[in-house]
Structure 1
């Protein structure tokens, strides 16, 4: 029976050690489980905060989307006004082009009229020059005639004096 007692003692010793290790393991596992429970509670609290933050972000995004939509509408309105302004600018440019064409046509007409007037003025100047030459020639002839008339008058006066002397002597 010694063997059985030894067996019993050995068994009690091994089972005791296993029980002690199990108790320690159980205490460790229990501590770890409590730590995990705390961690899970902390994670749950954080998840709640994250979910709240996500809700707030969604609301903010929806608000931003609404504002973006409003801005897009305003941009569309501005683009329409820009298009209308561009159309008016194009129409104004067309009118300016037409006016420029008309101005160019008038320039050509004015150039032609100026050229014709210049030709007429040149012709008139030639006629004036010819008339001036003729008048100068006539003036020269008139001066010559006047000189000759003075000579003739002088000769006539002398002839009359001579005749008076001749008649007075006779």
Structure 2
């Protein structure tokens, strides 16, 4: 086998390995971004469910307020106090909803920013790889008796490129983990809010029971 054929096979092997590794990296990044999209859709569904529960709660509060006018002065005072607590809770929940919405919007902006940054880095890596491959091809064209030494140098440069790609992947994994933790924190706050709504329902039940007792009297 002549020198040119050997050089061509080496070049094709190097380029093939680089393309394969880069393709696997891109596929992994796409999968992670799809996971973020599914998480956001799940969050939106939970928000819709909470809004429906709020509508139901407001309807029940309206029914209770319609019965308050028929009770005695003492019970009216207690119901007024309960209504004040409900109003305060409603205002607090509205503030929390606004805060959750702001955090979701901020998360979306960060995802967009990360996606844009990732695209820029991928383009930069493509350009860098293309440049290095061109330089390697030029050097291969000029190979002489020192072929073995130059091949070792080229392999060292490829290892450095792989190390940079691995470092980039580790950094992206770390950022994705941070985003997942923030989503988990949001879910915990939503669960705490759901518990608060359950307590309100219990208080409303007590009011209805008292109203029934008064009617029976």
* TM-score category of the 2 structures, normalised to the smaller one: 0.3 to 0.5
**TM-score, normalised with respect to structure 1:** 0.40
Greater share of residues in helix: 1
**TM-score, normalised with respect to structure 2:** 0.32
User: Computing the radius of gyration over CA atoms, which structure comes out larger, 1 or 2?
Assistant: 1
